[in-house]
Amino acid sequence: MTLNLYPGPGRHARLLIIALLATCILLPIPAAAEQLQQSAACLPDDPYDLDTMIQVMSRPNPPTVPVQLNDDLTLVYVGVGDMIADGEDDTEPGPTPRPNPRPTEPDPAQTSYGPMKIRAFNNANRFMFDIIMSERMLKRIDRCREEAGLTSADGGEDGFGPAEGQHVFMPLLLNGSAGTGPAAATRGWSNGDDTRIVRSPTTLWPWRTIAQQSFVGDDESRCTQTLIGPRHMVTAAHCIVNFGTTAWKTRELTPGRNGPGISPYGMTTITPNPAPGQTVWYFVPSQWTDPGTSNQWVWDWGMVVIPDFLGNQTGWMGYGAWSAGVLNGETHLNRGYPRCNVPNYGGEPANCQPARLYGDTKACELGDYSDQLADGWNRRISVSCDLSKGHSGSAVYHYRYDPHLDKTVPVVTMVVSTEVCGSSCSATNDFPSTARRLTPADVAVISFFREAFP
């Protein structure tokens, strides 16, 4: 039995009118001064009942049958999730991508990916739902938001611009950072050499959009997340919920953290039973939560929607999907919060400083692509970034010109997923880690949740 909240033919007519009006409205690309507010929905009159979707998932009593909101959106109640305060956020080394440095992939606009299923969880009622979304709805929402400039970055008047991608940015080399310690050459990753240095001040854009994920009240990093909207963060799925379980994580998210006790923009604390108005939402591919999934790393990405509009202080990065042919021609960067003082590990930066932002002095090069699915897009890419525990979930991004903003801004295209060789990397390991790249389907899902949770 399915509970059908879709009222029938009259709704079709209304949706057709709205679609035609939206098409007329969205034909011109708006200038920067004319863009919609980033915290606003793009499509008028909520044609896909997204408010109702949130209401159903927020109720104190879950539905006993699937709820079909309309032809494009269905909710399936899965059960009650757990929230855990401890446990590792980092994973064991994952498999090495199969050699394929220059795959052929379809144009993003022409990619067909079918319906998407995303597992949702919130820390208020702790209910888990599968959200089943049609491709046509996802594409319409994503196209609307992209054409209105709502997938773009925000901020940057005081930032670096493309200069951040220069080979070496020596003014940011601080005493005691990774590149200055005597053990740096023996503690590294790519090519046996760790070139990470402390990146400061973190109040500069886009560094302030990068958030440390830690245990509540702790200084040590457990993962890294990145703001891609006023209250929207992207990260790895394993930073949100343990694979194949219902164990969702209580954590603190602190953008722009610059050492113990230095949180210039505040933080979001995620715990069970939040106060009214403080609900946090987690979203990961449903396949990640299925213990029967054979290759979980294909699904290792996720999104968090927090109640605090921290992005209104920090700005945020843009997001997008580009084919291998485009990505291979870009200069990629990674910044993250490594975990220090890890027993029996040795992969952290030399003289590692807790709660400090680190990044290479060189670009993060791309190696092999792997795990191509039916839509023609590879999910995993090996990378040369120097990484260690705590970097999981951090963004791999590059700078590109944005016509909506008329300037070059950072865009997130991947999140750090796994190490390949663990702490045994040597000078022969050019690409010691992997990132989960964002596909057109993933980007459309992000746009969907930014539309649903402005």
Q: What is the three-state SS of 178-206?
A: HHHCCCHHHCCCHHHCCCCEECCCCCCCC
Average pLDDT over residues 382-402: 94
pTM above 0.95, yes or no: no
What's the angle, vertex CA 438, arms to CA 400 and CA 266, rounded to 5?
75
Structure tokens at 316: 């945020």
Q: What radius of gyration do the chain's Cα atoms show?
A: 21
Whether the ω angle into residue 171 lies within 30 degrees of 0, i.e. cis, is no
pLDDT averaged over every residue in the chain = 86
pLDDT in tens, 161-172: 776 755 333 333
Percent above pLDDT 90 for the chain:
70
State the DSSP H helix or E strand holding residue 82, giving kind and residue range, or none if neither: strand 82-84
Provide φ and ψ at 146, rounded to 5°.
-65, -45
Average pLDDT over residues 88-101: 66
Q: What pLDDT is recorded for position 426?
A: 66
Q: What pLDDT is recorded for position 93?
A: 60
Average pLDDT over residues 273-299: 96
Question: What letter would DSSP give residue 115?
Answer: -
